[in-house]
Chain A
Amino acid sequence: VDLTPSPQEQAFRDQLREWLAANHPGPEPEGDVAGFQFRRDWQGRLHADGWAGVSWPKEYGGRGATLVEQAIYNEELARAQAPSAANVIGLAMGGPTVIAHGTDEQKRRYLEPILSAEEIWCQGFSEPDAGSDLASLKTRAVRDGDEWVVTGQKVWTTLAHHARWCMLVARTDADAPRHKGLTYFLMDMEQDAVQVRPLRQITGEAEFNELFIEEARIPHANIIGGEGNGWAVAITTLMHERATLAFGLQIRVKITLGELLDEARESGATADPVIRDRLAQLYIESEVLRLNALRGLSAIMRTGVPGPEGSLGKWQWADVNQALTELALELRGSRAVLDDDRWTYRFLRARANSIEGGTTEILRNIVAERVLGLPRMR
């Protein structure tokens, strides 16, 4: 056990911190369009100096950072309160999936524009009738010469209204066993057959979209990982989602908890020993989340692949973030009937934490079956 950063890790942190101090673009402007353009410009600046896709191998335009360096990267960006990159899904999931399963031609075509944010990516997995049971999805793709014709509906597609490419999983063989008949496509979003509608959520905003796909056309060359192999490719995307996003999330929890602790100190809420006890417990759980994530990194560095343990972190993150926002609202007392500060929004937004990116129930199934080796349901 050695939690001291190596000289190389320390140098990485120092270099990034210095770069951030010189290049931080300031606060994000209001509004979806202006905000998105701002994050797109920010990613361009990150990319120009080699700070986008730090985890990607150097040969594909990344920095070839180790997992520990990626953790440092996430920490430093959060600490500097830097804006997030515009193309989060492309960077965290799309690129790594193309690198793992794409052809050389696909790597040449798609990777660079992800890094530069020239082409934004979105993820077309979930459907109205296929959420946790993803393999039951119904969107159909039928071969027509060198193209596939796709019809169906997708939901919860973040960034779809900005995206050029959609990672789309569709059924290409209705007769095959359900996990076998799926294929992973890159669908061009710039066609009339794809309609994007914002999906308004309980906070009042629309972070997500619905996709209505009516005979959209996808060239055969846009299949990733081969026809009928869509399930395995989709799993790669999901594992990257849980492994890399989860690490950034635990840092955001620590920052939010820091705000709550400051407020509780100022308001005198900590005079109540029950509140004090619960705040201490939250702090401990946020630390355990961080420490588990660090241990997970060391394990991945040894074995080379993100394992099902990432599911544990994402599940625990949801628990902690929900408990944190619940306590914050409780501390407002009767003023919690008002909607006049950020905790109201955070409480509502946190309800999705145990659903998005894999429900807590599905994550518990994964932990039970794949980590503990319990018999599978069904």
Chain B
Amino acid sequence: MTNRRQRSQRVEATTYDSGPVLSKHGVETVTADQRLLIEGPTMTGKRDLMLSLLQTGLPEEHAMVITTNKSAAGIQSSIATADTPSPNASIIDCSTIDSTPDSVAGEIEIVGSPEDLTGLGIAVTKCSRRIEEASTNGVRVGIDSISSFLQYIDEARVLYCLQVLLGRFSAADYLTVSTLSISSHPQQVVESVRSLHDGRIELRESDAGAIEARVLGLEGADRTWRTLD
């Protein structure tokens, strides 16, 4: 039999439901193919916000998470909710944490280090093939965190890699949500990462210790700082 080239298919989604946080900031839907960046200092809940944006689509949609700081098992348990105890989630574990994948339900690809970009590419491809076999209403991808890639790999290569990853997700009409810890990088690097995304959610801690968010670059976003519930 002649081999047919393997190609990722576009999903059927044209827009994604924005979820409670974004709608509070005036954003009701997000166009399929958009790339959102969640940025803020450490300990402002970037990962939790990313996961909640992915959870908004469950159980009808699929989630794919590329994790660098938390184990696949940890992400699996964080993404499950009371309503969706076993979500359609594929986790790509690029953390250097020793995982015990057999004890965890669901689909996990172990890459083993943020440095292994070839391994990451193969893992993404395997996940998108599986998701397409299952057929789905949409796919939301979390990349947590771009900062880890910047710790292991030089800036030019990270930007190149992000452009390839985000280019593929966007071409397939996936919604991508990345996180970036802004305290760790020079302003120019932050600007370059922002330029690869369509919109962003900025997080900060107020003097009173509350976490605040504002949304920029998305349709309807009003750029106002508000307390994150």
B is a partner of A: no
Listed in ascending order, the chain A residues whose CB lies under 8 Å from chain B are: none
